Amino acid sequence: MNKAKTSAEKSVSANSRTLSLLSQLEKINVSSVLGESDNARHVTSKILHLVQSQEKTRKEIISKGSTGIEVILSTLENTRDLQTILNILNILIEVVSVGGGRRASVLVTKGGTQILLQLLLTASKDSPPNEELMMLLHTLLAKIGPKDKKIGMKARINGVLNLSLNLVKQNLQNHRLVLPCLQVLRVYSTNSVNAVSLGKNGVVELLFKIIGPFSKRNTSLMKVALDTLAALLKSKTNARRAVDRGYVQVLLTIYVDWHRHDSRHRYMLIRKGVLQCIKSITNIKLGRKAFLDANGMKILYNTSQECLAVRTLDPLVNTSSLIMRKCFPKNRLPLPTIKSAFHFQLPVIPASGPVAQLYSLPPDVDDVVDESDDNDDAETETEIETEIDDDKDQHFKNDDIETDINKLKPRQELGRPMEELKMYEQFFPELSENFQELDLVSKEPKPFIPDANLSGPIVVPTASEEHTAEANPSTKEVALKECSPSLTEEYNRRPVSLELPKQDNMKNSSLHQQNDQRNMLPSYQCLSQEIVKGLDRISLQNSAKNDQYYGTGCVVKKESKDNLTTLACSKSCDHVSPCGGSLFEGSSVQLGKLCCTGVDSEEEGDSRSSSSGEHVMLQVSDVSPVHDCDLYLEMVKSTKSIPDYSEVAYPDYFGHIPPPFKEPILERPYGVQRTKICQDIERLIYQNDIIDRVVYDLDNLSCSVPEEADVLKFNSKFESGNLRKVIQIRKNEYDLILNSDINSNHYHQWFYFEVSGMKTGISYRFNIINCEKSNSQFNYGMQPLMYSVQEALRSRPCWTRVGTDICYYKNHFSRSSIAAGGQKGKSYYTITFTVTFQHKDDVCYFAYHYPYTYSTLKMHLKKLESMHNPQQIYFRQDVLCETLAGNSCPLVTITAMPESNYYEHICQFRNRPYIFLSARVHPGETNASWVMKGTLEYLMSNSPNAQCLRESYIFKIIPMLNPDGVINGNHRCSLSGEDLNRQWQNPNPDLHPTIYHAKGLLQYLASIKRLPLVYCDYHGHSRKKNVFMYGCSVKETMWHTSVNAASCNLTEDPGYRALPKILSQTAPAFCMGSCSFVVEKSKESTARVVVWREIGVQRSYTMESTLCGCDQGKYKRGQ
């Protein structure tokens, strides 16, 4: 207790003593009496003693409300006594040495920088200048300089810029003085004007006298000198001077010397300092050339490889990799043009914009030429393993927020005369239908309630209401069918010849019986290793393999003569040619390669029995009641593509089921990106090891496919396919180039292609080298999708996530300024992944995301139309318009049939509010179509919630706004070469017919006072997790900007938050935290904003679904 009192008393006395001393010092400043210098010296000496011994004194001087700093600085400014000045400088050094940068910032705000610079100028006039004073001044300036952004300009204005440089020149051997001087020069050099000025006075040459080969002496001085040199070399002028004097070779020699001698890695900071100098000097073209001429690539490659074994040397490896990536010669893409390989002549050429620019280019312009070497901007990446999350804690840029209150306020504008909008009346027959000719279920009207179900809540099914699926895919099918009996009833009414199992049989079967039957199935074996390139005939046979879901089987017929495997058919197909190449009359459509190769060793016994030519059943589960292989082929016949595709991809023909296992986010191995980049750098260093052979090329149709057994074969000539060129780099490594969107020269991200001719046990590396987005989910655990035909024929038709060593990074290929919209040096990005195939000579398909073709949509709509109960569900499919290529754009109407044809029920039917949904405006966002497919199937199901929705609302749905883009494998645009979701303000009926007429439908509803309650456009997001929505709110937009602060008084119905809030409470994948209701200038012509602003729909949304899993809820960490 006594000790505590003593300590408290000491503290009080110390504080009061400090205050007393500062008070004395202040009085000395006020009185300019002779002899006061001794008092000042005595008082500052006592303050220095307290500051050196007690942290509380330092805090007292710098604390908020204290005048201590002002008093000390005032004394420093006014005194002429050397010892007093030295005391004060030591006091300030002690104060700012601890406590982080906050104390230094306080000193700067009190005018400390200016006082110190003035003192430096005064002290320099002494001959010779006092060494102790100069050392303390520079030490203090070096500490506070980084906190003063204008210190460089202040030093230049005060004329002290070259004082520190001259001190170094005159005292080169006095390391005690040179060290703080160099630290100040480093601070000055952050100002580019200062760096140039110092460079003209020989600072670069001076520093090269200080740095040198390995030595254990003066390492701290060497480190500071290197840091100062690196800062100075960021100036292009200084960098050129260093190149002209041959310093690039000198730096490489110094680095190698330190690398060899620093065997215990004690001087890693010095080695990194040398690398930082090289990094700065290679920011210019001359520096990169000098680096390459000095064999810098090989030197840094070899030294970094030797450092890989020591984890603490990673900073050296990372910096070396950055330098090598930067100096790697920028290459043009190996293409004749970066415009799409497919050409479509537009009916109208836009007056301005990128498409107009594309059409105005002379035919001889080389739009692939590399111009990036003219870009001398500094490297912006910090560390090779640092991944920039563009979307982290920021949905938008502040300068993109709309701040004009007049533009923000919704204003309902028809935009077109009513006479013209009457053309859309034909798409709303439900508003005039009287149903008098139909025999409806109920004839007794219930009491008519005018407001019944007109404004009921939007009911969203929760995850708990869904049937839980077992690990086996068959049980998942049971759950689907039990949820949708209306679908299964029609499905079970198929022709008896198919002998499909009925619902009751499905319920009685057990998993045990299923496994027994699977074990009894005959196996199969193919006598040839060749892939069947076409089907003679196609058959859907009944399957006894699994009674829990519908089965289809393909019968394999073995031909002993020529060892070819063909698919036999149990029903006649007159339209199939004997050769198996053409499936349709007048339309040559081939099924993609089917694979029937050797089986596993345990099945060999059964396979031998099939060699006599007898039929062998291949059991393949049907994926869904709404997938029909034959119907899909029929739909393909009427699909029009620009390349005039004649093949059908096997996954699209056959469909797929979810894999019977969870697919978690892939954990990324440490250093994988660095390893991949090193392998890319090896291409330059060891050029003789590179094969560089083209194995697939859409620009050269005569490109011969190598027949060698160790070369993979590629194909993308099918609907939604995208792969333009493939180059074999090494024996098992391939560079893949994607095709641009038609009538565009960019938008490369979506891929969908076929690979065959593989061997097992070999790791194949695939590099897609012309991606454009700056980041991707591939850096955060996403894997590409693969569909194996061999697995499908083994009853596992699944798209599965595959690949290891996956990363996404900037590469050495660059876009021309023409392609980059006038910007130079725009680099492409690489998606790289490694795959080991399970089956020899398999046929596999790879895709960016689960493919969903236009033909698949038509098939699904056809099945839904044929399978619904017309007594209960009002389902109508119209053609909204034709696309540029002549494909139809479907418009679907779904609601409940009226309870009877009595007036009251017909009135209730006609007065239901509209819900307007659309999807797939961006072809590469295939997940939007899968969400739409789930929406359609749910609305057509017998679920009580679905029935409630149908009875409450009329759903108008455009499931695919961009059919042409989907068909031709585009990522973002339609055939017009434009993003259709940026055309809603002024759509052109000739260039953007689907948008023009979709907007016309909404304008018509507005004109007849039937505004939709909700408009929602389905999208996919490539960089964010979860499902979330973007909406529109004036208030929330204004809250994010300081402009028009008075707008907070605006009254706004918060109903726009209702639907996202409901979804966040009921859907595990939905994330309310990712939702935004801000209106950005860059989004003013999107569907969401135009429908809100011009049509007047308050609840107008874009719903984004992730391409790769969730980071919350029950689906967390899954893909």
> DSSP states of 42-109 as a string?
HHHHHHHHHHHH-HHHHHHHHSTT--HHHHHHHHHHH---HHHHHHHHHHHHHHHHSSTHHHHHHHHH
CB atoms closer than 10 angstroms to residue 365: 12
Distance in angstroms (rounded) separating the CA atoms of residues 716 and 332: 23
> Tokens 């929705």 — which residue?
949
> Tokens 């409940």 — which residue?
896
DSSP state of 331: B
> DSSP states of 219-284 as a string?
HHHHHHHHHHHHHHTTSHHHHHHHHHTTHHHHHHHHHHHHHHH-TT---HHHHHHHHHHHHHHTTS
Close Cβ partners of 107 (under 8 Å, ≥ 6 residues apart): 69, 73, 92, 95, 96, 113, 144, 147
| Residue-wise burial string across 896-919, b where 16 or more C-beta atoms lie within 10 A, e elsewhere | bbbbbbbebbbebbbebbbbbbbb
Distance in angstroms (rounded) separating the CA atoms of residues 879 and 892: 9
Alpha helices in 510-628 (DSSP H): 511-520, 604-608
Torsion over CA of 982, 985, 991 and 997, rounded to 10 degrees?
A: 110
| Longest distance between any two alpha carbons in the chain, whole Å | 123
Close Cβ partners of 820 (under 8 Å, ≥ 6 residues apart): 826
> Tokens 């402009």 — which residue?
1043
Helix 926-939 / helix 854-867 crossing angle, nearest 10 deg: 0
What are the φ/ψ torsions at residue 213 (nearest 5 degrees)? -60, 175
| The one catalytic residue among 371, 1080, 1094, 1104 | 1104
- Establish whether 36 is a catalytic residue: no
DSSP state of 587: B
Which three-class secondary structure string do you get for 796-811?
CCCEEECCEEEEEEEE
Distance in angstroms (rounded) separating the CA atoms of residues 832 and 19: 66
Distance in angstroms (rounded) separating the CA atoms of residues 112 and 143: 12
Distance in angstroms (rounded) separating the CA atoms of residues 1035 and 1047: 7
What are the φ/ψ torsions at residue 1018 (nearest 5 degrees)? -85, 130
Q: Are 782 and 876 in contact (CB under 8 A)?
A: no
List the one residue out of 931, 944, 956 whose CA is nearest residue 872: 944
Write out the H or E segment, with its range, that includes residue 591: strand 590-591
What are the φ/ψ torsions at residue 112 (nearest 5 degrees)? -65, -35
Q: Are 1000 and 989 in contact (CB under 8 A)?
A: no
Distance in angstroms (rounded) separating the CA atoms of residues 623 and 635: 18
Write out the H or E segment, with its range, that includes residue 379: none
> Tokens 């001044």 — which residue?
137
Helix 285-293 / helix 247-261 crossing angle, nearest 10 deg: 50
DSSP state of 426: G
3-state secondary structure of 830: strand
Beta bridge partners of 753: 846
Residues with a catalytic annotation lie at 1104
